Chain A
Amino acid sequence: MQPATVQAGELRSVWEVFVTAGIAVYAIVAGLIAWCAIAYRRRDPAVRQGAAFHENKPLEILWTVIPILIVIGLFVKTYIVEAKVEYVAPNPGEVVDVAAYRWSWRFVYPRHHLALDGTTTAPPVLVLPVDQTTQINLTSNDVIHEFWVPAFLFKRDAVPGRPSTFDLHPTQIGTYRGVCGEYCGTFHAGMDFSVRVVSAADYAQWLAVRK
């Protein structure tokens, strides 16, 4: 499956590194535990004490240094990708102001004087042009909400009094599920929306029809 945005491609590379490293570490450590449980089980009930083996400096230094090297590697990967994902382009192709409220969303296209409101029963649709950078300016009208599109592997908090800006650069035409990721009260579960990524031509047509 192709990543749905340029940013999602970057984010997925982090998931791939961490999941691979995580499975490897789990296999090694769980394997050691299983090995000990099997190989060093007490076979003779008369045995009162195992080997008097309770320190080994080289070993202890080794299992301190190796995790340090692993987490340094993970940090470098994290740092590089985060800088790319959080980069906000100076000249975006499109701008959408997103306002969250209990319990739906308002999508405003300031360049086109267009505003779309939703409800829990009629979730709003965020229409984005494909292969263009759209800048999202996110805020909240009441409590903290969270703009989360799972297919984009990305979310950002909508914090009242503290607007937040990020870029989305969709690469795949399609419709994606969006949800509120931060608990916001009784009907938090119903605070859905969709993201529809369309071609440039379809986008122009959609704007013309909506206006």
Chain B
Amino acid sequence: MIGWLIGTNHKRIGILYMVTSLAFFTVAGVLADVIRAQLAIPNNTLVSAHFFNEAFTIHGTAMIFLFIAPFGFGLANYLVPLQIGAPDVAFPRMNAYSYWMYLLGGMTILSGFLTLGGASDVGWYAYTPLSELHVAGGAGEDLWILGVTLTSISSIVTSINLIVTILVFRAPGMSMWRIPIFCWDMLATALMAIMAFPSLTAVQFMLLLDRHLDAKFFNPAGGGDVILYQHLWWFFGHPEVYIMILPMFGAISEIIPVFSRKPIFGYSGLAISGVAIAGLSMTVWAHHMFTTGAVNDPFFSAMSYAIAVPTGIKFFNWIGTMWRGAITFETPMLFAIAFLLNFLVGGITGVMVASPPIDFHAQGSYFLVSHFHYVLGGGSMFAIFASLYFWWPKIWGVKLNERLGQIHAWFMFVGFNVVFFPMMLLGVMGMPRRVFTYPNLPHWGELNFIETIGAAIITVGMAVFVWNIIVSHAFAREKQPDDPWGAGNALEWATASPPPEFNFKSLPPIRSKRPAFDLHYPEFAKDSPR
């Protein structure tokens, strides 16, 4: 126990990150169920407007700041040193610091529920002037600002750590053109994070100063500008979307080749497209502001469309990896294919909302809610489950039950689409987001009720997942080999499951992009891309 509290080993920090993020995911998931229960029927009075507003604010905040992004950093903390053949990250103590700042930030945000006025209820992007109106009795909002700032500092620190680790700590033979795509995508993510998060830290301090010292940054009556807040927020906020999805692109790029029994297709295209996405993501922020009438719509629209190109390259490379493979459908692959099908919807609707004329109707509606859930839920969350099943035997030395895993995957895929596809229709029909109730217009009741059934299906799926963890660990008999899936490519599959404290007793020779596969199947080593 003490070891976990004071430990600096990257695997322990990685596990702490991932377990903590799943705990916050549970909180955010319960809040999502509250939202869906309230919206199940028109004119519902199950929860108060005030509690509903707290629920969606903390749901979004927890999913974004406390679940998806930290899970990616946790997975990277665990995997990056293993994949590049290093004994640990570059700055282990700083790594521990980043984890504890993240935990403290998360607890600070949630502690808002314990204050008299309740938690923050101004939405996850806390637009001014709304976020400045609640100074009286609004300790929950201050706790939210402080908590978000702490997680921001945590992300900057862990990103610096990852960049240095990837650039400096690679084993002999592990050139930049041999590191796994997950490492490339984490490098791109970390570069984005150190550019984007300082803007978040700055804007939250400005908000705090405005709230308590009347600094007038965002107060039009004092010469400040409401739109300035949005620029500073989204300069962070849009890269944040890619900070949540790029690590998962990386994870998918590790999983699909293993179950297709092929080297990854188009390695250089995948590596470069990740960096291109990171670069372009810094130039699109104002597409969140098309309806303000205060930004250069065509420029930000064009840059947003451009991101579709490197994203498309990644997609086609994943399909190219499956092409002429020998594919099996274990749970990680099932989740990976579900990721492809869901994220495709998120990507296509993403190109739609990059168009200002579409945004003039879709922005702020359930169409947009559907779009970003297809990206972050159908995309990132499904990839997170694919990753959990895929690396579980490596991390714990125990494989999760395959039958329960398949049931979990199907419940999630069906439930997810039952929740989020009807939202697209409701958005086009004119349902705004963030409403605690809605009138009984034609089909609104039915579609919302269907969505709530979908939420119940997802909840059952999650119960199956928890049951799976319990059952798999209780009945674990055989020890997992180094390469439990039998076709591992990257170096983590060339050491014990779980790996020893400093990762490798001895490193295999690194002569290609898939050293573990070469070690286990020397007869196929000639086919490995160099």
Chain B residues within an 8 Å CB radius of A42 = 261, 326-328
CB of B394, distance to nearest CB on chain A (Å): 20
* Given known A40-B322, A42-B327, A63-B316, contact A49–B430 (CB-CB < 8 A): no
Complexed CA–CA distance, A41 and B127 (Å): 49
A103 to B164, CA, bound (A): 51
Quote the shortest CB–CB distance from A19 to chain B (angstroms). Answer: 8
Question: In the complex, A3 Cα to B340 Cα: how many Å?
Answer: 36
Given known pairs A71-B305, A82-B356, the reply for A40 and B324 (CB within 8 Å) is yes
A55 touches B435 (CB 8 A): no
**Is the CB of B309 closer than 8 A to any CB of chain A?**
yes
In the complex, the chain A residue whose C-beta lies closest to that of B319 is A32
Q: Does B123 contact A (CB under 8 A)?
A: yes
| Range for the number of chain B residues in contact with chain A | 35 or more
Can you list 29 contacts pairing A with B, beta carbon distance less than 8 Å? Answer: A11-B357, A22-B348, A29-B319, A33-B340, A36-B319, A40-B322, A40-B325, A40-B326, A47-B261, A48-B524, A49-B527, A51-B325, A54-B263, A60-B313, A63-B312, A67-B308, A74-B351, A82-B356, A143-B133, A144-B127, A155-B291, A160-B226, A161-B220, A181-B291, A183-B434, A184-B130, A186-B50, A188-B434, A188-B435
With CB as the reference atom, state the residue of chain A lying closest to B439: A192
Contact partner of A79 (CB less than 8 A), chosen from B130, B298, B486, is B298
Tell me whether A55 and B265 are in contact in the complex, defined as CB-CB below 8 angstroms, given that A25-B348, A181-B363, A189-B49 are known contacts: yes
The residue in chain A whose Cβ has the minimal distance to the Cβ of B521 is: A48
In the assembled complex, which residues on chain B have CB atoms less than 8 Å from the CB atom of A67?
A: 308-309, 312
Interface status of A87 (Cβ within 8 A of chain B): no
Given known pairs A49-B262, A67-B312, the reply for A144 and B130 (CB within 8 Å) is yes
Q: Is B238 an interface residue (CB 8 A)?
A: no
- Check if A179 is an interface residue, CB within 8 A of chain B: yes
CA distance A20 to B343 in the complex (A): 18
Which of A54, A162, A166, A186 meets B49, CB within 8 Å? A186
Min C-beta distance of A180 to chain B, whole Å:
7
Using known A-B contacts A64-B309, A146-B364, A159-B227, determine if residue A180 contacts B320 with beta carbons closer than 8 Å. no
Which residues of B, 361-420, contact A by the 8 Å Cβ criterion? 361, 363-365
A189 touches B262 (CB 8 A): no
- Give the interface of B toward A (CB within 8 A): 49-50, 53, 121-123, 127, 129-130, 133, 220-221, 225-227, 260-269, 291-294, 297-298, 301-302, 305-306, 308-309, 312-313, 315-317, 319-329, 337, 340-341, 344-345, 348-349, 351-352, 355-358, 360-361, 363-365, 429-430, 432-438, 441, 486-487, 521, 524, 527, 529
Q: Tell whether A182 is near chain B: CB-to-CB under 8 Å.
A: yes
- Across-interface contacts of A48 in B (CB, < 8 A): 261, 326, 486-487, 521, 524
Tell me if A112 is interfacial: C-beta within 8 Å of chain B. Answer: no
B368: min CB distance to chain A, Å:
10
Point out the residues of chain B lying under 8 angstroms from A49, CB to CB.
261-262, 326, 487, 521, 524, 527
Q: How far is the CA of A156 from the CA of B301 in the complex (A)?
A: 17
Chain A residues within 8 Å of B, Cβ to Cβ? 10-11, 14-15, 18-19, 22, 25-26, 29-30, 32-33, 36-37, 40-42, 47-56, 59-60, 63-64, 67-68, 70-71, 74-75, 78-79, 81-82, 85-86, 142-144, 146, 148, 150-151, 153-157, 159-162, 164, 166, 177, 179-189
Residues of B within 8 A of A155 (CB): 291, 360-361, 363-364
Given contacts A54-B265, A64-B313, A74-B351, list 4 more A-B pairs with CB under 8 A: A49-B326, A51-B262, A78-B355, A150-B365
CB distance from A26 to the nearest CB of B (A): 6
Least CB separation from B133: chain A residue: A143
Contact B130 A180 (CB under 8 A): no
| Complex: A43 Cα to B429 Cα, angstroms | 47
Please tell me if the beta carbons of B433 and A183 are within 8 angstroms of each other in the complex: yes
Q: Which residues of A contact B326 (CB under 8 A)?
A: 40-42, 47-50
In the complex, A144 Cα to B220 Cα: how many Å? Answer: 12
Q: Given the known inter-chain contacts A47-B261, A183-B434, please indicate yes or no for A37 contacting B337, CB distance below 8 A.
A: yes
**A114 shortest CB reach to chain B, Å:** 25
Residue among B49, B226, B262, B301 making CB contact with A50, cutoff 8 Å: B262
With a cutoff of 8 Å between Cβ atoms, the chain A residues found around residue B355 in the complex are 14, 18, 74, 78
Residue of B nearest to A85 (CB): B357
Instruction: Find out whether the CB atom of B529 lies under 8 angstroms from the CB atom of A55.
Output: yes
Complex Cα distance A51/B227, Å? 54
Q: Smallest distance from the beta carbon of B58 to chain A beta carbons, Å?
A: 14
Nearest CB of B to A132, in Å: 21
What is the CB-to-nearest-CB distance from B318 to chain A, in angstroms, rounded to a whole number? 8
Name B's interface SS. Answer: helix
Task: Tell me whether B361 and A53 are in contact (CB under 8 A).
Answer: no
Contacts of A18 in B (CB 8 A): 351-352, 355, 358
Nearest CB of A to B254, in Å: 15
Q: Are A161 and B225 in contact (CB under 8 A)?
A: yes
Say what secondary structure dominates the interface of chain A: mixed
A39 to B329, CA, bound (A): 13
Q: How far is the CA of A26 from the CA of B345 in the complex (A)?
A: 7
Give the shortest distance, in Å, between A8 (CB) and chain B (any CB): 9
Q: Which B residue's beta carbon lies closest to that of A47?
A: B326
Given A29, A51, A56, A156, which contacts B344 in the complex, CB threshold below 8 Å?
A: A29
In the complex, which residue of chain A has the Cβ closest to the Cβ of B221? A161
**Bound: A180/B319 CA distance, A:** 42
Residue of A148, A159, A164, A186 ringed by the most chain B CB atoms within 10 A: A159
State A143–B351 Cα separation when bound (angstroms): 29
> Per a CB cutoff under 8 Å, which of A33, A74, A148 touches B337?
A33
Q: How far is the CB of B372 from chain A (nearest CB, A)?
A: 15
B510 to chain A: closest CB distance in Å?
18
Chain A residues closer than 8 Å to B352, beta-carbon distance: 18-19, 22
Q: Which residues of B contact A47 (CB under 8 A)?
A: 261, 326
B261 near A186: Cβ-Cβ < 8 Å: no
Enumerate chain A residues within 8 angstroms of B317, measured Cβ to Cβ.
60
Which of B321, B337, B345, B356 is close to A78, meaning CB atoms less than 8 Å apart?
B356
- In the A-B complex, list the 5 residue pairs whose CB atoms are closest, starting with the nearest: A161-B220, A150-B430, A52-B527, A189-B435, A50-B325
User: In the complex, what distance in Å separates the CA atom of A57 from the CA atom of B49?
Assistant: 56
Q: How far is the CA of A74 from the CA of B324 in the complex (A)?
A: 33
* A53 & B308 in contact (Cβ 8 Å cutoff): no
- Complex contacts, B293 vs chain A, CB 8 Å: 86, 156-157, 164, 166
Residue in A11, A180, A185 whose Cβ sees the most chain B Cβ within 10 Å = A185
- Report chain A residues within 8 Å CB of B345: 26
CB distance from B483 to the nearest CB of A (A): 12
Whether the Cβ atoms of B269 and A60 lie closer than 8 Å is: yes
B267 to chain A, nearest CB (A): 7
Asked whether A50 lies within 8 Å of B430 as measured between CB atoms, the reply is no
Instruction: Given the known inter-chain contacts A51-B262, A74-B351, A187-B49, please indicate yes or no for A85 contacting B430, CB distance below 8 A.
Output: no
